[in-house]
Amino acid sequence: MVLALISFALMTADHRQHYLEGVRTGLSAAVYPLYYVINLPIVAGGWVDSNFTTHQTLKTENDRLHSEHLLLKAQVQKLAGLNAENRRLRTLLEASTNVSERISVADIVAVDIDPYARKLVINKGRREGIYEGQPLIDGAGVMGQIIKVGEPSSIAMLITDIGHSLPVMLNRTGLRVIAVGMGASGEMDLPHLPNSTDIKKGDVLVTSGLDGRFPPNYPAAIVTYAEKKSGQPFMQVRAIPAARLEHNREVLLVWRAQDALERPLRSTLPEATPAQGKAPASTAPNSAGVTTKPSTLVKPLVKPLATQPIPPTAAPPAKPTPAAIR
Amino acid sequence: MTQMHTTPASGWLIFTSFMVAFVLTIIPLPNDIEAFRPEWVALAVIYWALAQPQSVGVGVAWIIGLLLDIVHGAVFGQHALGMIFVAYIVVYLHQRIRTYPLWQQLLSVLMLVILYKLLLLWIFGVIGRSLDVSLYWSSVLTSVLLWPWLSSLLRRRTAVQR
């Protein structure tokens, strides 16, 4: 009886007041060996797999990665130029500049903690600076967010969980929608869209960033079904996540721009973060000859509009214009 | 009377069986059969509370439940509450349940697992967490189907009573 009362008290304290986060963090360290043991066969399998591959497979994989690397490098070059141009245009518009985020990699621990929810455990926790509500992405799109932080590991909720809602934006039209997870089916529902909405199968949904949690403009989902039914007040719209939720071994953790500014940016992901105006200059190769001309051209335009930090932003935007045009 | 000197199971055996139950609870399963995963830890609590109520009682069940909360990332005390109700009933009725024929034991285990899951569901409802209930009760079935094996183990352990 007493224990039942204590249980109730604990539940209230945990759910309403979040008093017990410290206790949970500590105890989750005690449970981690269990996760580790369960994960072990899979890690061992991976080790065996990687140690007993033939020379031929390695060769082909290496070739493939080489060509992929070259391709991506070329794309990043263009991206740097576009990014700088984008920032220049934004300064002209006096809009907030879009500073890149800091990203770090974590492994998924192969345990299934909750059969009634779409959750996963990752092998990074408070030690690595993980915080509650932190977004989780993979190479293709948004995966979910951290809901419980432990010392050595954390628990994340996927965007398809029945308790998860993600503010997204229709890439084609800019329409803002909420994408609600549907649980077991692995789909997302877009509720309360009027029948006149311009949305169709194949449309890409990106994060809108309005939640203040997910960084904007990451691909989130692709519309798979959009049906107008006469007699129904709303459209029936379904989408599947862009991220490969079930096929990943690794995930990427994102620190949003404000947090990222405090840390050294180029040490974690140099190519994708042309942050303080240094990266564009180094990655746009044939812009050395035309440095002075465009900057004089831009300056008078910028001056009357932007009152605060022009020096760091006004210098780089001028340079990469040739790269962007090319 | 065939007096068998069944020595009580050591703490290590009980501990190991609970560890195995925990591992089986969170080991990854394919998505299609995931909902049918038996309630291993609840079964272990029922088994030990029947076999050895003097060592696994309500208190132990409560601690096991708290650990299960941590493992599942659930609200603190959710599984603990379910476990103490189950353990209390089993300890209270253990003399009777032990002597039941198998089908009656199956029925009592069915009731206990349903009670356990009902409490969990109720707390999910109170804290406002929505979940997919279409397959929620399927694990009750698989849990009960496991009982005949546990029951035969139990027979051997509590042979003195028969």
Tokens standing for residue B20: 């195995």
Which contiguous run of DSSP H or E holds residue A226? strand A219-227
- Looking at the complex, report in whole angstroms how far the Cα of residue B9 sits from the nearest Cα belonging to chain A: 23
What is the pTM (predicted TM-score) of this model?
A: 0.68
Phi, psi (degrees; rounded to nearest 5) at B122: -65, -40
Cα radius of gyration rounded to whole Å, chain A: 24
Of B71, B75, B83, nearest in space to B26 by CA: B71
A272-289 core/surface letters (b: 16 or more CB in 10 A; e: else): bbbbebebbbebbeebee
Residue A241's SS3 state is strand
pLDDT at B108: 94
Place of tokens 């500049």: A97
Tokens standing for residue A24: 């949970």
pLDDT at B112: 95
Residues of A in contact with B67 (CB under 8 A): 27, 31
ipTM of the complex: 0.71
**Site from B23, B24, B26 to mutate, A interface, most A CB atoms within 10 angstroms:** B26
Q: Is A38's CB within 8 Å of B23's CB? A: yes
Mean of the per-residue pLDDT values of chain A: 74
Of A260, A252, A220, nearest in space to A101 by CA: A260
> In chain B, which residue's Cα lies nearest the Cα of A149?
B73
- Of the candidates B76, B124, B136, the beta carbon closest to that of A10 is on B76
Residues 40-99 of B with CB under 8 A from A: 58-59, 62, 65, 67, 70-78, 80-81, 84-85
Q: What is the mean pLDDT of residues A95-106?
A: 66
Q: Is B81's CB within 8 Å of A4's CB? A: yes
What digits encode the pLDDT tens for the residues A47-91?
887 788 778 888 898 999 998 988 888 888 778 888 888 877 777
DSSP per residue, B27-89: S---TTTGGG---HHHHHHHHHHHH-TTTSSHHHHHHHHHHHHHHHT--TTHHHHHHHHHHHH
- Looking at the complex, report in whole angstroms how far the Cα of residue A111 sits from the nearest Cα belonging to chain B: 5
Tell me if A111 sits within 8 A of A123, measured CB to CB. no
Residues of A in contact with B75 (CB under 8 A): 11, 14-15
Using a CB–CB cutoff of 8 Å, tell me whether B123 touches chain A: yes
- Looking at the complex, report in whole angstroms how far the Cα of residue A286 sits from the nearest Cα belonging to chain B: 53
Given a cut of 70, whether residue A257 has pLDDT beyond it is no
**Calpha distance A128→A130 (Å, rounded):** 6
pLDDT at B158: 66
Tell me if B57 sits within 8 A of B49, measured CB to CB. yes
Alpha-carbon distances of A20 from A8, A13, A17, B140, B153, rounded to whole Å? 14, 7, 8, 31, 39
**Calpha distance A287→A316 (Å, rounded):** 11
Given a cut of 70, whether residue A152 has pLDDT beyond it is yes
Rounded to the nearest 5 degrees, what angle is found at the Cα of B72, between the Cα atoms of B67 and B76? 60
**Site from B34, B39, B75 to mutate, A interface, most A CB atoms within 10 angstroms:** B75
Q: Is B23's CB within 8 Å of A30's CB? A: no
C-alpha count within 13 angstroms, C-beta hemisphere, residue A267: 5
- Residue pLDDT tens, chain B, 162 long: 444 455 677 788 899 999 999 988 888 887 778 888 899 999 999 999 998 898 888 999 999 998 898 888 888 888 999 999 999 999 999 999 988 998 999 999 999 999 999 999 998 888 877 777 778 888 899 999 999 988 888 777 765 444
Residues on A contacting B at a C-beta cutoff of 8 Å: 3-4, 6-11, 13-15, 20, 23-24, 27-28, 30-31, 34-35, 37-38, 110-117, 119, 147-148, 155, 162-163, 183-184, 246
Q: At what angle do helices B102-126 and B138-157 cross, to 10 degrees?
A: 130
- Of the candidates B77, B130, B136, the beta carbon closest to that of A7 is on B77
**Calpha distance B142→B139 (Å, rounded):** 5
> In chain B, which residue's Cα lies nearest the Cα of A15?
B75
Least confident window among A208-212, A281-285, B59-63, B148-152: A281-285
Residues of B in contact with A163 (CB under 8 A): 129-131
Tell me if A135 sits within 8 A of A220, measured CB to CB. no
Rounded to the nearest 5 degrees, what angle is found at the Cα of B93, between the Cα atoms of B147 and B4? 70
- Of the candidates A7, A11, A117, the beta carbon closest to that of B84 is on A7
Q: Is A3's CB within 8 Å of B129's CB? A: no
> In chain B, which residue's Cα lies nearest the Cα of A5?
B81
**Calpha distance A55→A68 (Å, rounded):** 20
